[in-house]
Every structure is written in C-alpha cells, then in structure tokens.
Amino acid sequence: MESAEGSPAPQVTSEHPHLTTHILDATTGRPASDVAVTLTGPVGEIATGTTDDDGRLGLGPDLLPPGDYTLTFATAEYFAALGTEAFYPSVSVTFRVVDRPHYHVPLLLSPFAYSTYRGS
C-alpha cells in the first residue's frame, strides 16, 4: 500500500511493538474503541492505527530509536460518534524514548479533560 505521495504507507504495528497505548473514557468508565491514533517522531509519521474493543493499540516497529515522539489521538471523531460535544478536537502527547525495553502511554479521556502517564 502506498501513500498519496507514492511512498510506502507507515507500518501500523509489528508483532512486538516498542510502544503501546490504551484509552479509558472516564465519562463512561469503558475503554475508548475505534479511536484513530498517529505516531510521529524525529523523521515524521511512523505509524497509524485505531484502538481495539479494549481501547488498546500497539504502534510502530519492534524498536524506536532514541528521540522525541508524539501520539496524536483523534478525539473529536470519537466523541462525535457518541453524540457528545467535546472541547479537545485532538490530544497530542509528546514523550521521550531513551532506553526502556517497552513504552506504554495510556490516556484517560473525558469530553473536557484528559490525563496521561508513563505506564508499564
């Protein structure tokens, strides 16, 4: 599959991705499924995907080189599908990869607030 520019499309995931995320909708107390997520890094877009029924997603290759990365969550589309007005059209979380064997970046989400942390 190729992108509009003719270059190969980013890999969605590997068998053992270095990075995982998961989203919990704090207003419902349930995982947020079907949320589009994009991973970008020092060289641009690396991977895209959508959360599964449990709100989880693995992105990128088996190993990310050290550097700064951003996960962007398409929250407007998620809340629109629920018929819920939301303040944040997207949530971007920037973090630094150094030398950990695995990075987990969860998102706790509501229509008018969000929080994140470095998970395990």
Task: Name the residue range of residue 93's domain.
Answer: 19-110
DSSP state of 42: T
Residue 92 lies in a domain: yes
Q: Give Cβ neighbours of residue 70 (< 8 Å, ≥ 6 apart).
A: 39, 40, 41, 92, 93, 94, 95
Q: How many domains does the chain have?
A: 1
CATH code, 75: 2.60.40.180
Residue 107 has a pLDDT of 98
Residue 4 has a pLDDT of 44
Gap between the Cα atoms of 48 and 33, Å rounded: 15
Residue 30 lies in a domain: yes
Residue 73 lies in a domain: yes
Which tokens hold the place of 82?
């629920």
- Give the pLDDT of the chain (120 residues) as one tens digit per residue: 344 444 444 444 556 688 999 999 999 999 999 999 999 999 999 999 999 999 999 998 889 999 999 999 999 999 999 999 999 999 999 999 998 889 999 999 999 999 999 998
Residue 52 has a pLDDT of 97
Nearest to 103 by CA among 77, 55, 65: 65
Residue 117 lies in a domain: no
Measured CA to CA in angstroms, residue 81 lies from 51, 60, 74, 86 at distances of: 14, 26, 12, 11
Regarding pTM above 0.75, the answer is: yes
